[in-house]
């Protein structure tokens, strides 16, 4: 265990465990050879997940032309990787939905922000990326802020020392002033303890500094890292900030690095509220 992770565990207590089904789904997402039988074996162990997944598959968000009554049908209509991605998002909801008093975030605030970044990252990868790449971008966006789960507890007792909602730099500096590290560092440690793939771990640890030479040089997938950074700032721009506002200079730098033109980002900003609302409702089982 590296020194940084050990320090975080000593400072914040035991890191939370990733739910068993979520961990198995994560491994499936990283296994391009995984077949339908393996997907069914993992999802079939969890009746609640199966029920919620089918609600999601039958929602307006997925847009299927007919209702599906079994995971097998969903696999045929949507494909293995898409079903695993949707199941992962469904299973992660319980982890990300709770209130975070240390950040002054009400229940579902981090969840909505994470969904907005996931959807935005997938949009920003766009038509130039293949389906698998868009799915990786969605997953990376969904988990980018898990470090806040680690820091929430120790920040509760020192709430008055954390800056009010503002620029990300001020928030991260406040975290460092209080605890000695920020949520990106803590999230990377948590991702490593959960055995996330390197590309996801890099995104979590570097999503606020993607264009720095050290971060870019060490990233397993620099393009994915920059896409999630741009999506994170875009989500804040659209009102899904999770304790922060958009830093315009960083936003434009990330968009430029991706080659995104104004018309493209405007289209994402227009779509994002509807997409977040639809996916959030679907994941909560609402019509």
Q: Is the model's pLDDT at 187 over the cut of 80? A: yes
Structural domain boundaries, residue 56? 3-283
Give CA–CA dist 142/137, Å, rounded: 9
Give residue 5's pLDDT.
60
Task: Provide the domain count of the chain.
Answer: 1
Give CA–CA dist 108/112, Å, rounded: 6
Q: CB neighbours of 265 closer than 8 A, spacing ≥ 6?
A: 234, 255
54 φ/ψ angles, rounded to the nearest 5 degrees: -65, -35
Rounded to two decimals, the pTM is 0.87
Task: Report the CATH number at residue 175.
Answer: 1.10.3210.10
Q: Which residue has the higher pLDDT, 13 or 157?
A: 157
Residue among 234, 285, 257 at smallest CA distance from 122 = 234
Residue pLDDT, tens place only, 44-94: 888 888 988 888 888 877 888 888 899 999 998 888 888 888 888 888 888
Give CA–CA dist 74/82, Å, rounded: 9
Distances (CA, A) of 57 to 23, 32, 41, 54: 21, 21, 18, 5
């Amino acid at each position: 265990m590296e020194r940084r992770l050990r320090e975080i565990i000593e400072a914040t207590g035991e890191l939370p465990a990733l739910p068993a089904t979520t961990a198995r789904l994560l491994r499936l997402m990283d296994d391009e050879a995984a077949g339908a039988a393996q997907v069914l074996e993992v999802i079939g162990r969890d009746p609640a997940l199966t029920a919620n997944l089918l609600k999601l598959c039958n929602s307006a968000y997925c847009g299927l032309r007919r209702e599906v009554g079994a995971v097998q049908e969903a696999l045929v209509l949507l494909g293995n990787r898409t079903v695993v991605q949707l199941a992962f998002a469904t299973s992660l909801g319980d982890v990300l939905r709770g209130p975070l008093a240390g950040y002054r975030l009400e229940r579902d605030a981090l969840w909505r922000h994470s969904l907005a970044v996931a959807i935005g990252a997938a949009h920003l990868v766009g038509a130039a990326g293949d389906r698998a790449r868009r799915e990786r971008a969605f997953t990376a966006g969904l988990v980018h802020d898990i470090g806040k789960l680690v820091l929430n507890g120790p920040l509760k007792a020192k709430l008055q020392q954390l800056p009010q909602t503002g620029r990300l730099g001020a928030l991260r500096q406040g975290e460092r002033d209080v605890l000695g590290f920020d949520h990106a560092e803590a999230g990377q440690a948590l991702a490593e303890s959960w055995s996330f793939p390197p590309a996801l771990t890099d995104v979590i640890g570097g999503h606020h500094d993607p264009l720095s030479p050290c971060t870019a040089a060490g990233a397993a997938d620099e393009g994915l890292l920059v896409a999630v950074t741009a999506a994170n700032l875009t989500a804040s721009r659209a009102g899904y900030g999770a304790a922060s506002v958009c830093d315009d200079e960083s936003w434009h730098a990330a968009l430029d690095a991706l080659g995104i033109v104004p018309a493209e980002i405007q289209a994402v900003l227009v779509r994002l509220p509807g997409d977040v609302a639809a996916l959030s409702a679907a994941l909560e089982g609402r019509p």
